[in-house]
Amino acid sequence: MGTTGVNEGHEKTATGATWQADGLRDTDVLSTATLTNMVERGITNGVVPVTLTNYSQDSGGSDRNNPLVTNCAVRPNPGVGTNSMFVDVGTVCLDGAFYSVGHGSAFNINTAGYYNVRFNPGGMVLPSGVNQECWVLVIADPELTGTNNVGLVAGAVVDTSGGLYPQMPSSHLVKQSVVLAAVRVTYASPVVIAAVEDKRVFIRGGPLPITPLVNSAGTATHPVNDYGISPTMTGGALPLAGLGTLYGRNPLGHDTTAGANAHGAGQTHLFYQGDIALGAASGGANQLTPVHRQSKQILAYSAAATFPLDCTPLVSEHDPTLHLAHCLWFDGPGVTVSSLVEGVHYTISAKNITIANLTATMVPPLGPGTIHVFYTHSGF
């Protein structure tokens, strides 16, 4: 949990939350629920951090690492009863779908309707005698729509007087799961929520670093990272209709005809690989970056001169001698307008545009005025 400290694990002790000081901590025993969420996070299951307070801050944000607040937080409600608890409102991603979880109302951990028979084949079985304890996992369960997708999974009840300690349940592993918390339940009438371990794992909101794709056979011309020159993935079309993949590479070489002039050449950009081979009606590699931008600059013209541009105009991938730019000459506020031709009236090199002597190159000759330059660039 970020700033909670190594010896606190998920059971961060907070002001007024004495219930968290009880029970085993993660540094004593690595619980199966923690391992489950680590694996589930690897397949992008987890809590969506869309409503986290101070999420824009670093790991020291006042509530970003607070297990008592924010979306899907699980906490007891001792003001009502020892068995009462909250699951705060939030959103989880499970098996590629999003589900709203939790609500503003408290409920009792010994409410049978929260125990899905799929994970609790014997029904709700909780401590019923002195010295008995068990662990109850709070999970996101889309099968329990009547509980706002909150499910409870109970572990085996044990008698702790002989030195036994209750074990985490594992029946929730029959399908993909998002574990929100582990609750240690002890015997009383009603039962007691003795400890709550926050098990939430948040889906990373970004950034997501992607490394350049290199041909593992060693034939790619690094740092071009062309993966066999053709942008289609080596081995042919992807196996399933509609399947695609994202990867990073240098666009240099992605067009074998005019590859040296590919937009963004010399840098790593994001590509989407469709499921049909390059050249077919669809599919192939599609460059997603850079995002092309439009700029307009007004130059005061009086004679032949070179002017700096804010960004580098992109070149045409069909004719590398031409740029994606257009120039208009004005002799006043909309009085006379003339269009200029690249290679005749002006040239572009990197971030510079050179205007020729328009008195000599235009018919009729053009004198002092302003030149409006419209061009497409990638932000560089």
**What are the tens digits of pLDDT across the range 288-300?**
877 788 999 999 9
Region 355-363 average pLDDT: 93
Angle 246-251-255 from CA coordinates, rounded to 5°: 110
pLDDT for residue 241:
61
Task: Report how far residue 341's alpha carbon sits from residue 348's, in angstroms, rounded to the nearest whole number.
Answer: 11
Please say whether the beta carbons of 270 and 212 come within 8 A.
Answer: no
Is 276's pLDDT higher than 80?
A: no
Is 26's pLDDT higher than 50?
A: no
Is 89's pLDDT higher than 70?
A: yes
pLDDT for residue 233:
55
- Centre a 10 Å sphere on the Cβ of residue 62 and count the other Cβ atoms it contains: 11
**What are the tens digits of pLDDT across the range 325-355?**
999 999 876 678 999 999 999 999 999 999 9
pLDDT for residue 9:
41
Least confident among 11-15, 131-135, 329-333: 11-15
pLDDT for residue 7:
41
**What are the tens digits of pLDDT across the range 362-372?**
988 999 999 99
**What are the tens digits of pLDDT across the range 157-216?**
999 998 888 999 999 988 899 999 999 999 999 999 998 888 888 887 667 777 766 665
Least confident among 44-53, 57-66, 154-163: 57-66
pLDDT for residue 150:
97
| Cis-peptide, bond into residue 290, ω within 30° of zero | yes
Q: Provide the percentage of residues in the chain whose pLDDT is more than 90.
A: 44
Determine the longest span between alpha carbons in the chain, in angstroms.
Answer: 105
pLDDT for residue 6:
40
Report which secondary-structure segment, H or E, holds 301.
strand 293-301
Q: Token match 């989880």: residue? A: 92
Please say whether the beta carbons of 342 and 333 come within 8 A.
Answer: no
pLDDT for residue 254:
59
Task: Report how far residue 108's alpha carbon sits from residue 105's, in angstroms, rounded to the nearest whole number.
Answer: 10
**What are the tens digits of pLDDT across the range 230-256?**
455 555 555 556 667 787 777 776 554
Is 283's pLDDT higher than 70?
A: no
Query: In the predicted model, what is the mean pLDDT of the chain?
Result: 80
pTM of this structure? 0.64
pLDDT for residue 240:
59
pLDDT for residue 61:
58
pLDDT for residue 15:
46
